[in-house]
Amino acid sequence: MSGKSMNARQIQAAYKLAAERYAEFGVDVEAALRRLAKIPVSLNCWQGDDVGGFENIGAQFGSGIAVTGSYPGKARTPDELRADADKALSLIPGKHRFNLHAFYAETGGKKVERDELEPAHFKNWIAWAKANKMGLDFNPTYFSHPKLVDGMSLAHPDKSIRQFWIDHGIVCRKIGAAMGKALGTPCVTNVWVPDGYKDTPVDRKGPRERLANSLDAIFSKPISPKYNLDAVEPKLFGIGSESYVVGSHEFYLGYAIKNKKLICLDAGHFHPTESISDKISSMMQWVPELLLHVSRGVRWDSDHVVILSDELEAIAQELVRGGYLGRTHIGLDFFDASINRVAAWTIGTRSMIKALLLALVEPISTLKKLEADGDLTGRLALLEETKTLPHGAVWDYYCLKAGVPDGCGWMKEVKNYEQAVLSKRA
């Protein structure tokens, strides 16, 4: 990355002018930054090792999910993954969370099946999160496993296969609750299953009935929302499930409303022209809380690193304008194996935070008033003018205050880390 970092004096001077400019629009930038500092983003652990997990080192059961790219230096052990995440977190302003999958368990070299996992297998993760004063989120892992038979898990026609995966879901909620209890902040445990058909099914109903029953079995025991929150994640299609996904949007929206679960909206799980930003205010009428998997679909659900796109801005605007931040858990979901993975985490998370910042410094009350007064010309004009307000100066100042590199500084640290650590990995 070219260009030098600014010095602190320059950043402060630019910020002062920027804050004055925003004040002319009735925006209190200091207040916005105070709010921003309280919004955690849950970093997806799986960007650090290409959704590999640590249970079958060497073995490949690639079904259910697909990653492309072979950039050198991916984390091979839990310690490496934690070290890489520490590096990324040191370059991201604010206090955040970390989102784990069940197959990142540490079983000390012993084979422990997924239906036998326990909180103890995550004690290093919990200790690490505690040391970082961070909350954890969790996911049962329904892919990359020999018992994902013919692309089906919780919806499989064979009862014993279903039971294995039900038991996996049950132990994962317990692990989530243990994480929430230990860290003093509820863990969001999110269920996503890849179940579906490559080609057009004849029976669309049966798998959905089975999935509903399996979910009921997983969720049958109540767990205090102080410790664990259950979420369900729909999808339109996947690789190998192009024609039919059992857990579709309508399926899970209904399930979440009926059972008071969180619905997870993954930005890459809808038709390419469909955006999740417009869904938020509709679904928040009916579900208690929302989980976001902020991702970036490119042509298909390809899980590209999140960037400051129009859609990302629209998502953040909806959360802020609608007053939904208190009921929304913001998580990231991407896995690009073709670039430096520490940089991928840093870019994606910083972009998410930038989008939140942009949304928080909008002149919302003025915009709402224009709209309420029927001045739609004024609304359009002001929306366009706000796009060139000096938010970059506010962002730099936010990074400075948080003690992380502004604009161009962080990439140098990633390069140093790559040379000193990542390049040494085989």
Q: Which residues are catalytic?
A: 192, 233, 235, 266, 269, 293, 301, 303, 333
Question: How many beta carbons lie within 10 A of that of residue 106, not counting itself?
Answer: 17
| Shortest Cβ 324–ligand RNT spacing (Å) | 21
Do the beta carbons of residue 370 and residue 379 sit within 8 Å?
Answer: yes
| Shortest Cβ 268–ligand RNT spacing (Å) | 7
Site string for ligand RNT, 46-75 (x = CB under 6 A): x----x------------------------
| Shortest Cβ 46–ligand RNT spacing (Å) | 5
Binding segment for ligand RNT (CB under 6 A), chosen from 146-154, 163-171, 220-228, 231-239, is 231-239
In the list Zn ion, ligand RNT, none, the entry touching 51 (Cβ below 5 to 8 angstroms by class) is: ligand RNT
Neighbour-count burial of 310, counting CB atoms closer than 10 A to its CB (0-12 exposed, 13-18 middle, 19+ buried) = exposed
Distance CA 188, CA 170 (A): 14
**Three-class SS of residue 37?**
coil
* Residue 324 DSSP class: -
Closest to 414 in 3D by CA, of 36, 92, 35: 92
Do the beta carbons of residue 404 and residue 353 sit within 8 Å?
Answer: no
Distance CA 42, CA 92 (A): 12
Q: Which residue from 49, 230, 333, 336 is in contact with Zn ion, where contact means CB under 5 A? A: 333
In the list Zn ion, ligand RNT, none, the entry touching 318 (Cβ below 5 to 8 angstroms by class) is: none
Site string for ligand RNT, 274-313 (x = CB under 6 A): -------------------x-------x------------
What are residue 230's phi and psi, to 5 degrees? -90, 135
Pairing of strands 196-197, 244-245: antiparallel
Q: Which residue has tokens 């730099």?
A: 396
Do the beta carbons of residue 345 and residue 85 sit within 8 Å?
Answer: yes
Instruction: Answer yes or no whether residue 233 interacts with ligand RNT by CB under 6 A.
Output: yes
Instruction: Answer yes or no whether residue 208 interacts with ligand RNT by CB under 6 A.
Output: no
Instruction: Answer yes or no whether residue 313 interacts with Zn ion by CB under 5 A.
Output: no
Do the beta carbons of residue 306 and residue 312 sit within 8 Å?
Answer: yes
Question: H or E element: which one contains 378?
Answer: helix 376-386
In the list Zn ion, ligand RNT, none, the entry touching 235 (Cβ below 5 to 8 angstroms by class) is: ligand RNT
Instruction: Answer yes or no whether residue 251 interacts with ligand RNT by CB under 6 A.
Output: no
* Residue 151 DSSP class: T
Distance CA 209, CA 351 (A): 39
CA distances from residue 341 to 57, 62, 303, 426 in whole angstroms, order as listed: 19, 20, 13, 15
Q: Which residue from 50, 84, 230, 266 is in contact with ligand RNT, where contact means CB under 6 A? A: 266
Looking from the CA of 335 toward its CB, the CA atoms found within 13 Å total 17
| Shortest Cβ 189–ligand RNT spacing (Å) | 11
| Shortest Cβ 38–ligand RNT spacing (Å) | 25
In the bound state with Zn ion, the residue whose beta carbon lies nearer, of 84 and 303, is 303
Instruction: Answer yes or no whether residue 266 interacts with Zn ion by CB under 5 A.
Output: yes
Distance CA 121, CA 132 (A): 19
In the bound state with Zn ion, the residue whose beta carbon lies nearer, of 293 and 341, is 293
In the bound state with ligand RNT, the residue whose beta carbon lies nearer, of 345 and 410, is 345
| Shortest Cβ 136–ligand RNT spacing (Å) | 15
Site string for ligand RNT, 156-195 (x = CB under 6 A): ------------------------------------x---
Pairing of strands 228-232, 262-266: parallel
In the list Zn ion, ligand RNT, none, the entry touching 208 (Cβ below 5 to 8 angstroms by class) is: none
Instruction: Answer yes or no whether residue 333 interacts with ligand RNT by CB under 6 A.
Output: yes
Instruction: Answer yes or no whether residue 318 interacts with Zn ion by CB under 5 A.
Output: no
In the bound complex, which residue of the shown chain has the CB atom lying closest to ligand RNT? 192
Distance CA 266, CA 137 (A): 16
Which residues of the shown chain bind ligand RNT in the complex (CB under 6 A)? 46, 51, 139, 192, 233, 235, 238, 266, 293, 301, 333
Residues near Zn ion (CB under 5 A) are 266, 293, 333
